Amino acid sequence: MVNFTIAQLREHMGNRHNIRNMSVIAHVDHGKSTLTDALVQKAGIIGQQQAGDVRIMDTRQDEQERGITIKSTGISLYYEFELAGKRDGYLINIIDSPGHVDFSSEVTAAIRVTDGGLVVVDCVEGVSVQTETVLRQALTERVRPVLMMNKIDRVLLELKSDSEEAYQKFQRVIEDINVLIATYHDETLGEMEINPVQGNVVFGSGLHQFGFTLRRFAAFYSSKFGIPAEVLVKKLWGDNFFNPKTKKWQKTDTDEDGKKLKRGFVQYIMDPLYVIFGAIMDDNREKLDKILNQMDIKITQEQRAYKERQLVKAVMQNWIPAADALLEVIILNLPSPVDSQKYRVETLYTGPMDDPCANAIRNCDPDGPLMLYVSKMVPADKTRFNAFGRVFSGTVRTGMKVRMQGPNFLHGKKEDLYIKPIQRVVLYMGRKFEAVDDVPCGNTCCLVGVDQYLTKSGTITDYEDAYNIATMKFSVSPVVRVAVEPKSMADLPKLVEGLKRLAKSDPLCVISTSDSGEHVIAGAGELHLEICLKDLQDDFMGGTQVKVSDPVVQFCETVTKTSSQTALAKSPNKHNRIYMEAEPLDDELVEEIEKGYINPEKDAKEMGKDLVNKYNWDPTDSRKIWCFGPDGKGPNLVVDKSKAVQYLDECKDSFEQAFAWASSKGALCDETMRGIRFNVMDATLHPDTIHRGAAQMVPPIRSCYFASELFASPAILEPVFLAEITSPQDAVGGIYSCLNKRRGQVVSEEPRIGTPLVQVKAYLPVMESFGFTADLRAHTSGQAFPQCVFDHWQEMSGDVFDESSKPNGVVKSIRKRKGLPEAIPKGDQFVDRL
């Protein structure tokens, strides 16, 4: 039973003003997937009774079993909606995304391709960690939020709190969200406040499939009161109390005789709900009939025979269906692509703001150059992936020849660029794909055949001079790794192929091979890795099992002082000499580089100014940064401090090459460097280029990087999670004892107002986090639930060269694991004598 055809959908894709692209975002378990069912059901894809139970967007078997969403899923739906007496068709592209922090990269990918976010909050639990994280991401991407105050059936059935308490709970959630919105206020987007009176809040229950806005009730009561709905709606929220004696609305909650009055929201909305729920649960048919009649609610003869929750659902679904309220809020409050792209273009496009691509994105022009951003790959069958993304300008057609620009593509260069035809354009419909000829801008779609060229994400365009659409920034980092190997060597090719597919299917995970041939998978945390490994074996290797190492943590190498001596190294032919020193980079500068604010593509003059003013750099040095590393953009720098050395400029390539190598595998234990600045102090070079080719230059330069690192009091940085743990008050003791055992540091402990819960925030070294969830559950009788997200890098205290120190042990065990000689090298081993 489908209410619309693909042809109808396609037709509406051209009606740009009537499109809404929306992600559903929330903390895990707050009810996103259940709610999305309500919308899918309304569009006619699943039956009315099933809605709320199927979770059609949880397409994977493990998602259905675990009851959590792991991958984000897209679906395009068509609805008719009446606005100001006019019926019109709307196309809504919805993405349901996972709520667990380990999968936040999926959320990032979802937010990128949508213009609005339906923020779902469990009204009993309130605004949680992940609600904040995803909302923050949405706001920085200029995605406009609306609110679903979800699970209000819990207030009515479980908590039995009174109507006024319920109001206070709702008010608190709205305030919490508005605090965040105010923090990220962005002038260009205009008013963003969440306010029931403005009509951007739905109150309801995904499970029972009902929902309402204040407008809905204002319209209902308007004739009773003889007040226009627009006026009445303002009385239904905030401090507005109806005084039956004076028959007037007033701002205070007591009448002239000192009698307590009820606020509008309580008296006219919550109380009738309580009566209905109460009458049904007590099976008081007389009372029920009376209120059904009063509120003008109709149910069928068949539904009359229902009892308890089933009857609740039938009554509420008939009366105030969730989908209607959601559609109203989505259509009226979220921007169409035409509206949103006007302001999103600045944060999306990396090229000049007046080139044809920028203009076409700004105007959402279907006839302009094609600009499409691929945000993730979704499995199409056992071997292939479809590239899912958003058309920001132009129209993408089956068969058209395009430029596929990966994240490392630079304007005017040829790296990470493929010019190929698009095999097919398809629509993403939850559990299946539907072929179409073309898709115009303002919509999401999938492309077949792109997965051969783009790994995870990228820009697709038909305009030769196009710059990339900005690469997504993730709020999580792949700091936990496992090494995998096949159980039998015959399966090695299968493993290699499987890893390639895994790298595609997940927006975040990083696959690499170490020098010793070890295959390594890096992910955000234990759960993320567990899912990656499951996908790898079950889906990408056809059930072949692999041997998995214990999880290991990524560390970084850094320095804490300026090198105690200048490092000197000679080329093998002895004709060239390099002199170098290392020193630590400012912490804040390192972060700015990691966030991409300071990058090698930035205008040299502007960057120089920043370095001088903000970080007290010497003005001459600030203009002589040679390279960033690793990957040409990492948080380590090479600066030329030499004076008038002949031919040095001609050797720059060798310095870059050696740096790419050294900065990704440092001298201590082959881990990535972080926060080191290398200064080239001096050099003597042979006049003849033939004597200073890469083979002569790269080895001594690398030795110099290593020696200067080792001379500069090197240290190990370990990743630290911010763990946020919610639990009942009486379980807090268990949390503290768990944290103590694991070098955890409590940052804050706060009661969650309106609930019997407390929230503990603590720093937890990633290396101590394995098994933390299980341990915590054991210590708190299963009552505490943690979410860990990478927060920062922290120096491990102690001298790495001191045999009795903790970092010394860590470095040695890493060396051992990697098959390196156990002794930590000293700077002297890398230097030559004059």
Quick one: which of 18, 23, 34, 576 contacts ligand GDP (CB under 6 A)? 34
- Whether omega for the bond prior to residue 440 falls within 30 degrees of 0, making it cis, is no
Q: Does 69 bind Mg ion (CB under 5 A)?
A: yes
Residue 603 in 3-state DSSP?
coil
Placement of tokens 């190997």 in the chain: 485
Percent composition of the chain: helix, strand, coil (DSSP 3-state, to 5): 40, 25, 35
Give the integer Cα–Cα distance in Å for 459 and 480. Answer: 29
Q: Does 33 bind ligand GDP (CB under 6 A)?
A: yes
The stretch near ligand GDP (CB under 6 A) out of 151-159, 182-190, 193-201, 256-264 is 151-159
Q: Pick the closer one to ligand GDP by CB: 12 or 55.
A: 55
Tell me the closest approach of the beta carbon of residue 133 to Mg ion, in angstroms: 16
Give the integer Cα–Cα distance in Å for 604 and 606. Answer: 6
Candidates 292, 261, 266, 267; CA nearest to 277 is 292
Tell me the closest approach of the beta carbon of residue 73 to ligand GDP, in angstroms: 11
Quick one: which of 3, 17, 50, 67 contacts ligand GDP (CB under 6 A)? 67
Quick one: which of 9, 25, 26, 377 contacts ligand GDP (CB under 6 A)? 26
Q: Pick the closer one to ligand GDP by CB: 43 or 499.
A: 43
Tell me, rounded to whole angstroms, the distance of Cα 146 from its chain centroid: 18
List the single partner that 333 binds among Mg ion, ligand GDP, none, CB under 5 to 8 Å by kind: none
Query: In this structure, what are the phi and psi dihedrals at residue 38, rounded to the nearest 5 degrees?
Result: -60, -40
Give the integer Cα–Cα distance in Å for 740 and 743. Answer: 6
List the single partner that 571 binds among ligand GDP, Mg ion, none, CB under 5 to 8 Å by kind: none
Give the integer Cα–Cα distance in Å for 185 and 180. Answer: 9
Q: Does 206 bind ligand GDP (CB under 6 A)?
A: yes
Answer yes or no: are the C-beta atoms of 525 and 545 closer than 8 Å. Answer: no
Residue 381 in 3-state DSSP?
coil
Tell me the closest approach of the beta carbon of residue 167 to ligand GDP, in angstroms: 18
Q: Pick the closer one to Mg ion by CB: 33 or 787.
A: 33
Answer yes or no: are the C-beta atoms of 428 and 447 closer than 8 Å. Answer: no
Give the integer Cα–Cα distance in Å for 456 and 376. Answer: 6
Tell me the closest approach of the beta carbon of residue 734 to ligand GDP, in angstroms: 25
Candidates 795, 814, 752; CA nearest to 129 is 752
Answer yes or no: are the C-beta atoms of 640 and 623 closer than 8 Å. Answer: no
Give the integer Cα–Cα distance in Å for 169 and 20. Answer: 30
Q: Pick the closer one to ligand GDP by CB: 100 or 519.
A: 100
The stretch near ligand GDP (CB under 6 A) out of 147-155, 443-451, 516-524, 551-559 is 147-155
The stretch near Mg ion (CB under 5 A) out of 29-37, 152-160, 763-771, 776-784 is 29-37
List the single partner that 151 binds among Mg ion, ligand GDP, none, CB under 5 to 8 Å by kind: ligand GDP
Q: What is the dihedral of CA 251, 332, 313, 171, to 10 degrees?
A: -30
Q: Does 724 bind ligand GDP (CB under 6 A)?
A: no
The stretch near ligand GDP (CB under 6 A) out of 201-209, 348-356, 409-417, 586-594 is 201-209
The stretch near ligand GDP (CB under 6 A) out of 27-35, 136-144, 306-314, 489-497 is 27-35
Q: Does 33 bind Mg ion (CB under 5 A)?
A: yes
Q: Does 323 bind ligand GDP (CB under 6 A)?
A: no
Q: Does 454 bind ligand GDP (CB under 6 A)?
A: no
Candidates 101, 799, 775, 819; CA nearest to 476 is 101
Residue 564 in 3-state DSSP?
coil
Q: Compose the 80-119 pattern: x for residues touching ligand GDP by CB under 6 A, - for all others.
A: -------------------x--------------------
Copy the structure tokens of residue 188: 């260009």
Give the integer Cα–Cα distance in Å for 463 and 661. Answer: 35
The stretch near Mg ion (CB under 5 A) out of 63-71, 243-251, 420-428, 576-584 is 63-71
Give the integer Cα–Cα distance in Å for 439 and 148. Answer: 30
List the single partner that 365 binds among ligand GDP, Mg ion, none, CB under 5 to 8 Å by kind: none
Q: Pick the closer one to ligand GDP by CB: 149 or 371.
A: 149
Number of residues that bind ligand GDP (CB under 6 A): 20
Q: Does 31 bind ligand GDP (CB under 6 A)?
A: yes
Q: Pick the closer one to ligand GDP by CB: 153 or 671.
A: 153
Q: Does 679 bind Mg ion (CB under 5 A)?
A: no
Q: Please name the residues in contact with 789: beta carbons below 8 A apart, sequence gap of 6 or more.
A: 101, 104, 129, 133, 475, 476, 524, 525, 721, 722, 724
Q: Indicate the burial class of 276 (C-beta count within 10 angstroms; 0-12, 13-18, 19 or more).
A: buried
Tell me the closest approach of the beta carbon of residue 382 to Mg ion, in angstroms: 25
Strands 672-673 and 757-765: unpaired
Q: Pick the closer one to ligand GDP by CB: 31 or 126.
A: 31
Answer yes or no: are the C-beta atoms of 747 and 763 closer than 8 Å. Answer: yes
Q: Pick the closer one to ligand GDP by CB: 96 or 581.
A: 96
Q: Does 28 bind ligand GDP (CB under 6 A)?
A: yes
Q: Does 59 bind Mg ion (CB under 5 A)?
A: no
Tell me the closest approach of the beta carbon of residue 58 to ligand GDP, in angstroms: 7
Residues lying near Mg ion in the complex (CB under 5 A): 32-33, 69
Residues lying near ligand GDP in the complex (CB under 6 A): 26, 28-34, 55, 67-69, 99, 150-151, 153-154, 205-207
